[in-house]
Structure formats: C-alpha cells, structure tokens
Structure 1
Amino acid sequence: MTAFPVLRRKSTSDSPVRTLLLHGLGCTNAMWDEFVVHADGRLELWDVTLPWHGVDDPRWSHGEDQATALAEVLAGFDAVLAHSYTAGLLLEVFAEGLSPAVPSVLTNAFYRAGAEQFDWSTITYYLNDFHLIFAEALRWGPAARLTEQQRSKLALRLRDQIGPHGWVRFFATYLRSSTLDLSEVRAPQLVLSAACDIAARAEDGRALAQALPEGRFAELADCGHFPMLERPERFARLVSDFLSDAAGSWSPHTTDVACLELT
C-alpha cells in the first residue's frame, strides 16, 4: 500500500500528541475538517488517504491483506483516531500484533462479541442497505444542499464504485471482529458510538469497550454514523479529552517521522 501521512495541523504545545486520522470505507479526509477546527491545540493532526476510499481505483479490494497494509502507516504516531471500517482494521492490527497498540479512538466501529451473533438476517441487512450508510454522510456538508433523491443516487453510485469485492472485504473484517483476542491490546482505547447509528450498533460498541483491557466507552445521543460531521464540537471534546489524557500518560513512539510528507 503506497500511502503517506500528511500534516493537517501543527500543535500549539511544546509536548504535542502526534495523532493520525483514519477515514472509513468510501470516505475522504474531508470528513475530519470540522474536527480539525475544534480539536485540542495539543494534538498534532495528520491524515492519510487510504486505498479503500473506493472512488478512484477499486483494485484495492482485490489484493493485499488490508490490516497488514494499514500497519505500514502507523509508525511514529502517539495516538490514532479511526472511523467505521478502518476502526475495525485498526483493532485487528493491534490484536494481531502487527503494530504496537497506542491510545486510540475507535469511532463507530463494527464489532460483535461472538460469532453466534451473526446470522443470515445480518448479511441481508448490510448487503441490501449498504448504500444507506453513505446516504447518511451526504446529509452533511456541501451535499446537504442536494435533494433527498439526488443524495440517494449519489449513495448508490458510491456503493457501486466500492463494488462487491469491496463489500466482501468490509463484511469479512466485521466477521473477524468476533474472533479477535483483545487481551493484549493494552493501550487505552476509547470506543465512541452513536445512539442513532444505523450501521454500527451502540450496544456492540459498549461490548467492545468491555472486552478491551483498557477500554472506555462513550455514546453520543441524537447522532448517527458520522458524529464528526453531525456533532463536531461534542465529538471533538470527547476525543480531545481522551487523547490529551491517555496519550499524554502513554510512552510515545521514538520512531523518526522524517519520511512522512508535509503539506
């Protein structure tokens, strides 16, 4: 995977918390714009365009293991903020020891506590209504000016760009979440869920936090799958408070980050 983190915002602190922002499936880094505005000044914010944004080249879903690919971009960061599909991949990276665990915010992560919690109706829901997740994102930002019909068409187009192979990658990651051994994920993890999320259930987020040795749980009311777009100030406050506290007390990486590209 050829992906290089890019600096979004410098820290105002002499002791910055170098934080990597990871978008989800079918998303771009624009989803973090409001968070960058409201985030605590101590956080040095970076982002990276991951292959599974899904709109330029669908071949991302045909090849390499995505967890291994994700692990390549994590070196040198004190903390990570990951959304949705990528939050599940990050959890896999830490659980499998592909990269050392660091304090992270797992936002709207897909998780089930046991394999028996998946049944045929689960597959039906996520297959037939997959586009509705993208329709949620289009209700915010510039796309909010469009009609509901226009947003629905765009959501279906995005689903088609991700394609069946991309959906299978997504659902396979979801299935694997129920088999992960989380006992060695020792860094503090904030599982942030939303009460009105139609995709990643808040009850599963709570179960994930309970399964993590250093797990914490927070739930945003009146919010769906994209809290950084829907409730940016509340979202930023929760994330900033956690990362400033957890990452500040955690032993930081010593990895040289000179190889990372700056804007």
Structure 2
Amino acid sequence: MRVLLLHGLAGGANVWDALLEHTVGSPHEVWTAELPWRAEGVPGWTGHSPAHWVRQATGRVPGGPDVVIAHSFGANALLALLDEEPEGGPAPRPRAVVLVSPFYRPRPEAFGWDAISYYLNDFDRILADGLRVRSGGRLPDDLRREMALKVRDRIGPYGWLSFFDTYLRTPDLRTDRMTMPCLIVGGERDFASFPADSEALCAALPYAKAEILPGCGHFAMTERAAEFARLTEDFLQSVA
C-alpha cells in the first residue's frame, strides 16, 4: 500500500524519522510531505486553505495514497479536505486514515473565550514542547523558549489564525460521510490537542477507533515510536 505522512504546524517530514526507524523492511510504499506550514515557513501559504495544500500533497503521490497518516494541524487539514465537495464531484479518498493528536470539538458551544486565550497566549509553550521532543530533551529550557518564540514569530498571526480557524470549524465537519476506517492516536498528557478531542472525534466518525497512550504528549510517533509503529502496522494490515 501507498502511505503518505503529513506533519503538523511548524513541523517537517523529519517528525516521522523515529517511526520510520521502526518500519524498516515494511512492505508499504511510504511518502512524506514537506508542507508549506513547516518550521522554516513558506511566505504566503495562508493564501490558500489548509485543505488545498493537502490536496496538492496527495496529488503528488503516483496513484494516490491508500492510507494517509496525519499529525496535529496536518490531521485537521486532511479532515477539511475529506469534507470538501469541489466542483466536478468529490476528490479521490484514501482507503483509510490515521489521525495523530487531531484538534476537534463536537459543538460550537464547546469553544469559549478561554479557548482563544489558551491557544494564543500559550502557543509558544506548545511549540517549545515540540522542540523538547524533537531534540530529545537536550536543549536548555531558556534556549528552547527562545527558539519557540522565533518559530512563533515565523508562523505569524496569519498562520495562527489559519490553525485556529480550522479548529473552530471542526463542529461543522460532516463526519458521518467519512466512512473509511480511521485510527485516532492521542496522548494522555497532550496539552495541545487534549485526549478529549481524540475521543470526541472518534465518537463522531462512523468507523473509528481511538488509542490514548498513557504518559504520552503531542508527538506519539516520536515519544512512543515503537508502540505507534505497532499500532499503525496492525491498522494497515486490517485495512489491507
């Protein structure tokens, strides 16, 4: 099967490196995308919707991906694409998806001013935790915070608004029509995308299963690489 990996906001294809180390010898054809919201940033990417960029990525996989594994903001961009109805009919869909730490709330009332404050004022703390995980904890706290602030500034207000607008629109997703098998993986200690988001999305999708990993944060594919590889391989085998 052809598998496409999509990273989250301020990430990159290297976020999957730990997972790929545990899948050496896999029979699957694995592709990774470098999306324009990656850490170094591509100016003007917010001129198109997140779904647009995922469509571009899936279109560059010869034959199209059978399974898409997407993390964080990348997972929400994928959900937005699956919800679209472009002119000329729906776009080809993957046979199955894996959503890692997606952002989701089932009702508009679930968003309050506190949510805006949290994701705006604590945005750099979320970015700093990503740097901690990817560096293996080798960065001193003060350096990590300084780097997180630089990444935050590179994302900028438009990038943040694109993320939060995508999150705000999740109650409107027509999840009942997303009938492909779906595996959702969340982390018990994830303070960016809370476990409740993963569980609520699982309940909203027709054929979904959620795995909340104990003691894990926002980057299950890095923090629990071996376990994540086993979960995804079992899922891919069931799909095959």
Same fold per superposition (TM over 0.5): yes
Backbone CA RMSD of aligned residues: 1.4
Structure 1 residue 54: Cα displacement:
4.5
Residue matched to 1:59: 44
Amino acid in the other structure paired with 1:220: L
Asked if 1:92 corresponds to 2:80, the answer is yes
Please list, as runs of the form range in 1=range in 2, the aligned pairs for 1:217-236 lying within 5 A after superposition.
Answer: 217-236=210-229
Structure 1 residue 205: Cα displacement:
0.7
Unaligned runs of 5+ residues in structure 1 are 1-16, 249-263
Asked if 1:43 corresponds to 2:28, the answer is yes
Residue matched to 1:4: none
Instruction: Give the Cα separation in 1 of the matches to 2:12 and 2:48.
Output: 21
Instruction: Give the Cα separation in 1 of the matches to 2:117 and 2:74.
Output: 22
Asked if 1:137 corresponds to 2:121, the answer is no
Preserved contact between residue 25 and residue 53 of structure 1 (Cα < 8 Å): yes
Q: Match of 2:92, SS? A: coil
Residue matched to 2:8: 24
Q: Match of 2:166, SS? A: helix
Instruction: Give the Cα separation in 2 of the matches to 1:214 and 1:242.
Output: 12
- Provide the aligned length of Structure 1 versus Structure 2: 230
Preserved contact between residue 143 and residue 151 of structure 1 (Cα < 8 Å): no
Preserved contact between residue 10 and residue 41 of structure 2 (Cα < 8 Å): no
Deviation per residue, 1:101-153 (Å, 9 max, x gap): 32010100000011110000000000000111211121134463221111111
Instruction: Give the Cα separation in 2 of the matches to 1:156 and 1:227.
Output: 23
Preserved contact between residue 19 and residue 79 of structure 1 (Cα < 8 Å): yes
Q: Match of 2:237, SS? A: helix
Q: Match of 2:98, SS? A: strand
Preserved contact between residue 12 and residue 39 of structure 2 (Cα < 8 Å): no
2:172 to 150, 172, 179: 179
* TM-score, reference length from structure 1: 0.84
Please list, as runs of the form range in 1=range in 2, the aligned pairs for 1:67-216 lying within 5 A after superposition.
Answer: 67-75=51-59, 76-97=64-85, 99-102=91-94, 103-142=96-135, 144-216=137-209
Q: Match of 2:137, SS? A: helix
**CA distance 1:31–1:54, change in 2 (3 Å):** closer
Q: Match of 1:27, SS? A: coil
Unaligned runs of 5+ residues in structure 2 are none
Instruction: Give the Cα separation in 2 of the matches to 1:72 and 1:139.
Output: 30
Structure 1 residue 42: Cα displacement:
2.3
Residue matched to 1:7: none
Q: Match of 1:187, SS? A: coil
Preserved contact between residue 194 and residue 222 of structure 1 (Cα < 8 Å): yes
Amino acid in the other structure paired with 2:34: T
Structure 1 residue 229: Cα displacement:
1.5
* TM-score, reference length from structure 2: 0.91
Structure 1 residue 91: Cα displacement:
0.9
Structure 1 residue 34: Cα displacement:
0.9
Identity over aligned pairs, percent:
40
Q: Match of 1:193, SS? A: strand
Deviation per residue, 1:18-70 (Å, 9 max, x gap): 10000111001111001011137122211011111142433212x12221231
**CA distance 1:212–1:230, change in 2 (3 Å):** same
Structure 1 residue 209: Cα displacement:
0.8
Preserved contact between residue 136 and residue 226 of structure 1 (Cα < 8 Å): no
Amino acid in the other structure paired with 1:107: V
Instruction: Give the Cα separation in 2 of the matches to 1:72 and 1:23.
Output: 14
